[in-house]
Amino acid sequence: MVLAAAVQLDAVLGDVAANLAACERLADEAGAVGAKIIALPEFFTTGIGFLDTLVDAAVPPDGPATALLTELAHRHGALVGGSFLCRDDDGHIRNAYLLADPSGIVGRHDKDLPTMWENAFYVGGNDDGVLTAGTHQVGAAVCWELMRTQTVRRLAGRVDLAMTGSGWWSIPQWHPRRLFARLEARNAATARRAAADFARYIGAPVAHAAHSGALACPMPLLPLGYRGHFEGGAMIVDADGTVIAERTYADGEGIVVGEIELGRRNPSATAGTGFWLHRRGALPAAVWHYQRWHGRRWYRRNAVRP
Max Cα distance, the chain (Å): 54
Residue pair 226/219 in contact by the 8 Å Cβ criterion: yes
How confident is the model at residue 186, as a pLDDT?
96
Burial zone of 249 (CB within 10 Å; 0-12 exposed, 13-18 middle, 19+ buried): buried
DSSP, res 41: P
- Using alpha carbons only, what angle is made at residue 189 by residues 185 and 193, rounded to the nearest 5 degrees? 170
CATH fold for domain 2-302: Nitrilase/N-carbamoyl-D-aminoacid amidohydrolase (3.60.110)
In sequence order, the 6+-apart residues with CB closer than 8 A to the CB of 196 are 235, 237, 241, 243
The DSSP secondary structure of 167-213, one letter per residue, reads -PBPPP--SSHHHHHHHHHHHHHHHHHHHHHHHHHHTS-EEEEEE-S
Q: What pLDDT, on the 0 to 100 scale, is given for residue 48?
A: 98
* Number of other CB atoms surrounding residue 241 within 10 Å: 17
**Closest by CA position to 167, among listed 238, 230, 75:** 230
- C-alpha–C-alpha distance, residues 147 and 276, integer Å: 6
How many C-beta atoms surround the C-beta of residue 85 within 10 A?
Answer: 27
Q: What is the pLDDT of residue 306?
A: 83
**Mean pLDDT in runs of 10 for the chain (306 residues)?**
98 98 98 98 98 97 98 98 98 98 98 98 98 97 98 97 98 95 96 97 98 97 95 98 97 98 96 94 93 97 94
Measured in degrees and rounded to the nearest 5, phi and psi for residue 116 equal: 55, -125
Instruction: Report the pLDDT value the prediction gives residue 238, as an integer from 0 to 100.
Output: 98
Helix (H) or strand (E) holding 25: helix 16-32
